[in-house]
Chains A and B, each alone.
Chain A
């Protein structure tokens, strides 16, 4: 992979949706691991390694930039992690490096994930100057005890300060919050929701606390030294978020995401609407149209019925140093792709249209889901109901496994 010389240009024009217009860069570095986190990140990489990490990441990106892709302006860039802000000024170098390799659309959305403690006013200024438009901050809670129990390195005051300094630098603050944390009262939860909005958040993601296997939290619950999240508290927390944020003028556009008008995450929306995207960095995932994947020799052109290719990098800060930089490769048929799109579409308020359901071969499934009160059908669109959102696995499972 990464070989780009001597390739015949693809007959694409820039407006075709099959060209990736979205880029995800995974920065697999954290200062320490949080108790609940099951994602890949590396907490022992010294700052001396940061310049190498930036060069390495840009090198991985180069491998995907066949000429057609290089000509298609990027609509969104998302720097996630890990904790990208741990890189400090090297993060700016990374963003500028990407800008030197691919054109950006005029209204491109550039998001950086941040933990409150690593987001200084100085860094916020430099990020804004480098073209960053959004910062997604891992606030999780405004209950200091809960933050300590979860192994977060910040407190509620520094979280609110971080959101304010994002806004002051002219970027859109987004806050991640966790509901259903044992020991956090309904009142404190309400205050967390209102607090982040007061501090300037125009986008809020609300995740129920999930116990991932192999995390310290899971071990503590198994040992009886921590409480497991309670299903009723999780549901009540999700309901409270929908109510409070609704009152404050937010729209729920996805099961876990709320935005003030005009502030939805365009990058994440791309994931849920089947848009291809390039992903680079240790542990990162990407999804490409089969023509692009074949042009990069990612998938063989052997006449198999493949429409979409998903890949992921190995969990290593320098995947290119490995004998095989990729950890997984999935070849999906057109029907698989349509199923995926239908499943993910049903995470969103807008749902999917009749045509999408038909392409995925799930019209009958949607009808039975409607009988069970999990989806509704209006104006030629299938949309999740409130209950369907909460019982998403039932909806997604029946869509994905239809007829299997």
Chain B
């Protein structure tokens, strides 16, 4: 156990791409935690997808020992957090394990939406915030402007902001000195019953669920009988240790210390992020504050292209859920697509990452339907239905009203793009709340809007209309009533359940028209004419036709062409396998996502 006065627990927070992971790499190098020869980029991001996309999905903790200028050796616990809005709750739990943060801001990009969101979170958690202006080696770096934005926009004094470059390592030592000097050491009662916060967990095939914890009061030891308060689970601690970044067992974790415990549990749903670990007997009365169940926000249907892969998809989802309790899923079936699963995610990035992992790590070929949100349908008979899939929406006649989830969206843009943002917001049912100049170059806009509009390609649209300058953050603010209708799509006269979607009544005509046009472009010509219709109930609101194919023949077929021809036909057959036969119509996969690309 280390004297708490020599412990500093901190996190690095930043907008995506502002250089958080590279900075963490430099800290590991400077403190000799990792030998230079073992160093690799984004060391704390262990998943391939994290490295490739340059994002952090799982929280991480690493202990480094730092010899400070005051002659003391400090135990620094760096808690690396996911940088994306999908994982806001995880970030807030990671912050709850810290006393301070390094707020990293790109010296060229300046303050962006997640900078604001993360800084607010750190303020709400009463953390010491040390601003760090990163990438000062860039030609476009403008530290003075960024300093001004931090002071004006975030009301954080930035006189003494650390100027650093994760690339060259400049300023990293100054950052560590500032941490030691400014971040308060942890305070807790070593005599009180154990209270430790679980800020992340993962599943180890051999050892079961491993929880990352921060001890607040008391101490935790190997062999101790503990209770996880939210789930009332009692278990024996099989091992206690610290991460450097490999797991190193230790005897005890005391007040303020960060490490891992091997719980001996095999069911990850029992070990929840945000929960409190205490003693099984004579434990703490009240848990640490802030725990809540993580709820999925975005739902999509995932179907194997080849129906035979259905059991494999189930196995793969079970495996991923072990490491990602936020993932929820239920079997679903569609007339058009067969058997699949309705899967709930924290957000769109989470959805993309999971789909990619299912395809890459498990060799599955998947078709995803357009994402949707959780609607609350209030029936005339007084019942309430929770609807995760448009195909489950009851008939309009049976409905009294529908409620949908709303968000508060924060958008930061240069002033010249405010008009473009307002126009997009208007198209997406976003109501303007307020606006504030953070600096001469950055405006902070606030909107309230339905989540269903946000998941419809909103971010890409925002980016393209602001030449990439806009940044976005959002938080959930609850359910509100909306006048929504279900729009059905019919191919060759038959409704295709997987293409149905829920839309605001005022938008239904425009979206129906654009979607049928889009589908006409996507669906290849077939042997026969294919009418495409959009309908609300029995009323057709738009119609397009894919004309029948007239010609599809290789004109020349002499000696040398024959082998080529056969291969072409075999490839064509493979191509057809990538499509879904819906009735007699061959539908390419992208058709099921077409609604996302509808730009009115």
Interface residues of A (CB under 8 A from B): 24, 206-208, 210, 231-232, 234-235, 238, 255-256, 268, 271-272, 277, 279, 283-287, 310, 312, 328, 330, 340, 343-344, 347, 372, 389-394, 396-397, 400-401, 404
Contacts and interface: CB of A to CB of B under 8 A. Distances in A.
Contacts of B558: 268, 271
B569 interface: yes
Interface string B559-571: 1101101101110
B585 to A, nearest CB: 14
B570 A285 contact: no
A397 B551 contact: no
Interface of B: 527, 549-560, 562-563, 565-566, 568-570, 572-573
Contacts of B572: 393, 397
A253 B157 CA distance: 87
Tell me if B's interface is mostly helix, strand, loop or mixed.
loop
Contact of A392 (B527, B552, B563, B573): B552
Given A394-B527, A397-B572, A401-B570, A279 B559 contact: yes
B562 A391 contact: no
Contacts of A231: 550-551
B570 A340 contact: no
Given A238-B551, A256-B555, A392-B552, 4 more contacts: A272-B557, A310-B563, A340-B566, A401-B570
Nearest to B557: A347
B569 A328 contact: no
A390 B551 contact: yes
Contacts of A207: 555-556
B552 A394 contact: yes
Contacts of B562: 271, 285, 287, 310, 340, 344
Nearest to A389: B553
A272 B562 CA distance: 9
A272 B554 CA distance: 14
14 contacts: A24-B559, A210-B556, A238-B551, A256-B556, A271-B557, A285-B563, A286-B559, A287-B559, A310-B562, A344-B562, A389-B553, A391-B553, A396-B565, A401-B569
A232 B553 CA distance: 14
A13 to B, nearest CB: 25
A330 B563 contact: yes
A283 B568 CA distance: 19
A255 B557 CA distance: 10
A271 B559 CA distance: 6
B234 to A, nearest CB: 58
A390 B173 CA distance: 74
Contacts of A396: 565, 569
Of B560, B562, B572, most buried by chain A (CB within 10 Å of CB) is: B560
Given A235-B551, A391-B549, A397 B573 contact: yes
A279 B558 CA distance: 12
A397 B557 CA distance: 14
Contacts of A340: 562, 566
A210 B562 CA distance: 17
Contacts of A285: 559-560, 562-563
A215 B559 CA distance: 21
Of A284, A372, A394, most buried by chain B (CB within 10 Å of CB) is: A394
B559 A277 contact: yes
A80 to B, nearest CB: 8
Contacts of A256: 555-556
B570 A208 contact: no
Nearest to A39: B560
Of B552, B555, B558, B563, most buried by chain A (CB within 10 Å of CB) is: B555
A272 B557 CA distance: 8
Contacts of B557: 271-272, 344, 347
Contact of B553 (A272, A287, A392, A401): A392
A347 B557 CA distance: 9
Nearest to A339: B566
Contacts of B563: 285, 310, 312, 328, 330
Contacts of A272: 557
A343 B570 CA distance: 13
